[in-house]
Amino acid sequence: MPRRVWSRFLGWDRHSSRGHHDHNGWWDESRHRLLPSYRDDSIQSAIPAEKVTEVALRIRHLIEECVPCELKQDQVTCPHSKVITPKVVQAAREAGGSEYGACVVFCLLVNKRWWRHQALIELWDADLHALRATACEVLAKQIIESEDSNEYLLHSVLLKRYSILVDGHPTHPVNVIEKAVDLHALRVIGSSGYQKCINHLWRGWLVQDENDPATFVDYKDRDNTSYSAHLDPDRMRAPMYQNATQMLVSFAYLGLYTVAMNTVNEGGGIDFIEILLYLFTLGFICDEIAKFWKAGYHILNFWNAFNSFLYGLLTTSFVLRCIALSHHHDDGHRHHYSTLSYSFLAVSAPMFWTRLLLYLDSYRFFGAMLVVLKVMMKESIIFFALLAVIVVGFLQAFVGLDYADDRVIEDILFIIQSMANAVMQSPDFSGFERFQPPFGLILYYCFTFVVMVVLLNILIALYNSAYEDIYDNANDEYLAMFAQKTMTFVRAPDENVFIPPFNLIEIFLLAIPLEWWMPKKTYEHINDVVMGLIYSPLLLISAYFEMRWAQGIRANRARGDADDDTVEEWEQMLGQIDLESDGWKKKVDLAKSNLEIEPAVVEVRKLREEVEELRGLILTLHKALAEGKGEGKQEGKGENSES
């Protein structure tokens, strides 16, 4: 659980406030965020919001002029586009001038959001506005990838927070990393500079400043080869280590559940394994509540609902177990409630195993698969919306045909079960003869046809379309999901990282009894000691790897390479070969094609040169003939004068 969450529950946090009553401008901008947001009024834009808005409006005018009408998307997105030319990229880079140039990429993403919003409210020009939004992404990607200074790119362009003016108020400052994830800007996320920044954040090479959570600084011991220097509990703030710890805890959670299910206590008692299982569950529930309290409903997604349902089943099992323990050992109610408790525990097994996917999405195989499943679930909403309307209509018809029957409740249950069987492609036509024949049977045939032939085929088509769209772009979708996962660890300024179920230690042993009266430095020191004890096994392993990485970083710096550079096989002897002196570079230059110019244009230019050359020859010949004729006339005149 993040530091001081418990004090926020009680309302006496002395360091930060959520700022629930925000102005409408920030609310409108944050409405569709994908990441949990942290609202801190002390965070200010690195550049005045008014200046950032001016830069954004300049870029908007540039996009309007460069994309004046509807074009094919390939004309904007191709590598050597005739629309997004180097001159256009340079003009966009100069929109902020020498003083405000760092916010240009942020302003391009703001313009992307503006164009997407305009496409929704102006459907007659939706394609044009969508194309302009794509042009903003293309420009942002080219500016990021053409930046030479990594220091400037990481700290000023990507990680500095900027605001714009909406209704006269500055919006909540966000950086390009967060903005691209919120807007699902795949081209920006897939750029090399963006991924370098995400990699540094994931490894913990870029960390939040302890005094200013809105600022990111370099990890000072990145190149320190001392083993003890990396035995720091603060290193658990790195997303990589948080994710590893969550995976280990998740496997331990699954192991506790497996042991609890395979060691049933016939007497209804709770053993040590079950106590640990329910303590883990309590820690996860507290973490979900803390996230919702801190980030609001924006954090709610499929996995939150999934986990909440799982924790609800386990809580129900625990309550039933307590009810069973309240009865005497020989009482029949004790056995009944104990059996019911194990039943709720048993039906949660598929969800326990499925829950592992939440922590395995950092691997590309699982990550790409989860992206596909996520889009398929969204597409299913259309199917279930249509299905709900049709089911309600046919259900009312069947109930109306059965109005004279006294067994209304039984018939309704029969109707619902038969309709569910039809949805699952196993219709049962027996039993509908008693619903005012032949109307009941005909009506069920119609329902089966609509569901099995029409709706299910629509669902299959939606699934197929979603699979093709995502799988063809699986790499960028995975990078976007990985960036979102990284930013969920980084976005909220957590001073201490207590991953469930260790958050119970923070709540009940640190925050409640100590935080409200203890000096800040003393409390932070105690937190560091407790975190060091809890995470000591992982810290001992991570310190070894960081020591090895530090040795690699020093070797890269000695060669003049980047810190995260690796020497591949084809690079080992590349410096020992001089391709220019042996003439190979000249041959390659003559053999390669010029991709910036189309072949037809090249041929036309050659033809033009030949025509110009032919024209010169003709003019030279004409001039020579004219001079020859002039000399002939002069000779003729000379002969006449002599005669």
> Over the stretch 261-314, which tens digit does the pLDDT of each residue have?
888 777 767 888 999 999 999 999 998 888 878 766 666 777 888 889 999 999
pLDDT-derived band at 491, boundaries 50, 70, 90: low
* Confidence check: pLDDT of 15 > 60: no
For the entire predicted model, the pTM comes to: 0.80
Q: Name the domain boundary from 472, 495, 510.
A: 472
Q: What is the mean pLDDT of the chain?
A: 83
Residue 87 belongs to a domain: no
Average pLDDT over residues 216-221: 89
* pLDDT given at position 292: 79
> Over the stretch 336-361, which tens digit does the pLDDT of each residue have?
888 898 899 999 999 999 888 888 87
Residue 375 belongs to a domain: yes
Backbone angles phi, psi at 170, to 5 degrees: -70, 140
* pLDDT given at position 34: 52
Burial of 597 (0-12, 13-18, 19+ CB in 10 A): exposed
Residues counted in the chain: 643
**Long-range contacts for 588-591 (Cβ within 8 Å, ≥24 apart)?**
none
Average pLDDT over residues 462-489: 83
Residue 154 belongs to a domain: no
Find the domain containing 464 and state its range.
364-472
The answer to whether residues 198 and 483 touch, using CB atoms and an 8 Å cutoff, is yes
* Confidence check: pLDDT of 375 > 90: no
Burial 185-208 (b: 16+ CB within 10 A, else e): bbbbbbbebbbbbbebbbbbbbbb
Q: Name the domain boundary from 455, 472, 489.
A: 472
Q: Retrieve residue 297's tokens.
A: 């409903």
Q: Retrieve residue 495's tokens.
A: 């001073």
SS (H, E, C) 466-518: HHHHHHCCHHHHHHHHHHHHHHHHHCCCCCCECCCCCHHHHHHHHHHHHHCCC
* pLDDT given at position 198: 94
Residue 393 belongs to a domain: yes
> Over the stretch 41-77, which tens digit does the pLDDT of each residue have?
567 888 999 999 999 999 999 999 999 999 888 889 9
pLDDT-derived band at 635, boundaries 50, 70, 90: low
| 3-state secondary structure (DSSP) of residue 22 | coil
Q: Name the domain boundary from 431, 447, 472.
A: 472
Let me know the angle formed at the C-alpha of 395 by 390 and 397, rounded to the nearest 5 degrees: 100
> Over the stretch 378-430, which tens digit does the pLDDT of each residue have?
778 888 888 899 999 988 888 888 765 556 677 788 888 888 888 888 887 88
Residue 84 belongs to a domain: no
Residue 435 belongs to a domain: yes
The total number of structural domains in the chain stands at 2
